[in-house]
Amino acid sequence: MKVIVLPGYSAHNLDWANEVAENLGPNYLTVVHQWRHWQEGSFSLKREIENILEEIGGETISIIAKSIGTRVTMNLIPRIINHRDKVILCGIPTKFESTSVKALYRDNLLKLGSQNVLCLQNTRDPFSPFVTVNEFIMSVDKNIKVMEKPGTDHEYPYFEDFKAFLLS
C-alpha cells in the first residue's frame, strides 16, 4: 500500500512525517513530502499540488496529513479522487470561520465518503480544539469518524491509530 505523508507547515514537522513513515513499517511504501518553502522561500499551493501529483504518480494512494497538510489534501482530492484510498487528517488548523474554507473541507470530505476518512484532533489543539473540528465534521457527515485525543498541543504521534485505520 502506498501512503503519502503531508506534514505541517514548519520544518520541524519533517521529524513527525519521518516518524510516521518509520512507524508504518515495511508493509507500506511511504512517501514523505517535503514542502519546497522549507528550502526555497514562500509556500505555493499550486506548486505543492503539482509536486505531490508527481510523487504519487497514477497509483492508488492513502494520505496522512497534519495541519496545513490537511488543507493541501482538500485541494488535492479533486485531482486524485479516482485513485485515492484512505485519508487521515490530523490537527485540522482552522476554526471554519471563513465560508471558502468551510466549502473546501465540506465539498471534499463529501467526495471522499465517510468510510474513507479519519480525523484525529487533540482536545485543546491550539490551532483548533476538538469541539470545533468535531462540530464542523458532524455537520458535514455524521458518519465520518472523528477521534478526540487528549493532547493540549499540535502534536500527532498516533501511529497505531493510523495503521489500524489504513488496514480497516
CATH number at 132 reads: 3.40.50.1820
Other beta carbons within 10 angstroms of residue 141's beta carbon come to 14
Q: Tell me how many domains the chain contains.
A: 1
**Domain extent at residue 71:** 2-167
How far is it, in rounded angstroms, from Cα 159 to Cα 72? 21
Q: Stretch 108-113: mean pLDDT, rounded?
A: 95
Q: Is the pLDDT of residue 41 over 90?
A: no
Q: What is the mean pLDDT of the chain?
A: 95
Would you say residue 108 has pLDDT above 90? yes
Q: Once rounded to an integer, what is the mean pLDDT over residues 4-27?
A: 96
Alpha helices in the chain (DSSP H): 13-24, 37-40, 45-56, 68-80, 99-112, 130-140, 159-167
| Predicted local distance difference test score (pLDDT) of residue 105 | 97
Q: What is the pLDDT of residue 33?
A: 97
Which three three-digit cell numbers place residue 72? 493541501
Enumerate the β-bridge partners of residue 146.
119
